[in-house]
């Protein structure tokens, strides 16, 4: 609650709230998805945050650019340009899921002054192995030659915990729709960008900002051990393991995810 004299010379104090006081959070979606993957967070945490949720280039409603390929630097810069555009010049909490986390690391390297905190969900600091790089190159080729359907069919079952996949056909359908709507250029561009991303492990120790690492215990794409290593490497980082959730931890267990994020963001109001 803020208090202010509404006019100079007035004899009473007017109390008010301004949503601009909420903690600003830049929410960066995973691959190959769009910003609606954060719907449960916008609904559940909007009372305490200003959420800025871009669709990355080639994803959701953002146009694709030519695949030349995309880079982490491009996508990190796109996000910073968006903050400028919406008039947010100060630092934000950067939240990224999976590919969004890789972009968050790039933002920390290039624009550290814009980051007041980090939420790293279902992501990892390590770079791709040579095998993973080759797989991404092939996936980019397939997307451009045959469309995104084969890429979606291969990835979709791995995005969710087996239990979620069986018991929540609604969630499976939502994810499938989101993925099929991504352009072939978006899929190819993002795959090539991820394959070239640097290893962020060496950056962890230097991250002197409040950090929350959130991970599902049944993530089939990124093992929990990666999240534990990341949380151990970042000074003071908190680790929230969400039991039974897979890679799409925020969509599979929105209540537990939001509780962890709310607790983390509470500390920004206590300072
Ligand atoms: C994602 O969810 O963003 C991707 O699965 C990340 C990746 O392919 O490494």
Per-residue pLDDT tens for 76-128?
999 999 999 999 999 999 999 999 999 999 999 999 999 999 999 999 999 99
Pocket probe for ligand 1: among 221, 247, 251, the residue whose CB has the most ligand atoms within 8 Å is 221
Give the pair of three-digit tokens for residue 35: 């910003």
Pocket probe for ligand 1: among 75, 95, 98, the residue whose CB has the most ligand atoms within 8 Å is 98
Share of the chain above pLDDT 90, in %: 88
pTM for this structure?
A: 0.94
Residue 271 pLDDT class (50, 70, 90 cuts): low
Atom number in ligand 1 closest to CA 97: 3
Say if CB 234 and CB 206 are below 8 A apart.
Answer: no
Write out pLDDT tens, residues 26-57.
999 999 999 999 999 999 999 999 999 999 99
Residue 221 Cβ < 6 Å to ligand 1: yes
Q: Is 71 exposed, middle or buried (0-12, 13-18, 19+ CB in 10 A)?
A: middle
Compute, in angstroms, the gap from residue 30 CA to the centroid of ligand 1.
6
Q: How far apart are CA 1 and CA 24, in angstroms?
A: 17
| Residue 92: Cβ within 10 Å count | 23
């Amino acid at each position: 609650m803020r208090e202010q004299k509404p006019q100079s010379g007035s004899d009473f104090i007017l109390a008010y709230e301004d949503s601009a006081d909420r903690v600003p959070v830049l929410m960066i979606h995973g691959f190959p998805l769009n910003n609606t993957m954060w719907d449960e967070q916008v609904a559940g945490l909007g009372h305490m945050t200003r959420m800025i949720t871009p669709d990355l280039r080639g994803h959701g409603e953002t146009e694709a650019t030519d695949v030349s390929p995309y880079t982490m630097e491009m996508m990190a810069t796109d996000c910073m340009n968006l903050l400028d555009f919406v008039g947010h010049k100060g630092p934000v909490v950067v939240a990224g899921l999976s590919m969004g986390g890789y972009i968050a690391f790039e933002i920390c390297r290039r624009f550290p002054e814009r980051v007041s905190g980090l939420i790293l969900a279902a992501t990892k600091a390590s770079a791709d192995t040579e095998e993973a790089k080759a797989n991404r190159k092939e996936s980019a080729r397939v997307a451009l030659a045959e469309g995104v359907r084969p890429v979606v069919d291969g990835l979709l079952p791995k995005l969710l915990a087996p239990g979620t996949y069986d018991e929540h056909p609604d969630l499976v359908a939502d994810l499938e729709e989101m993925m099929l709507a991504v352009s072939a250029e978006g899929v190819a561009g993002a795959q090539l960008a991820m394959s070239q991303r640097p290893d962020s492990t060496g950056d962890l120790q230097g991250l002197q900002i409040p950090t929350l690492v959130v991970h599902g215990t049944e993530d089939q794409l990124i093992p929990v051990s990666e999240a534990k290593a990341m949380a151990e490497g970042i000074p003071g980082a908190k680790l929230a393991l969400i039991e039974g959730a897979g890679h799409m931890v925020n969509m599979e267990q929105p209540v537990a995810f939001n509780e962890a994020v709310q607790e983390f963001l509470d500390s920004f109001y206590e300072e």
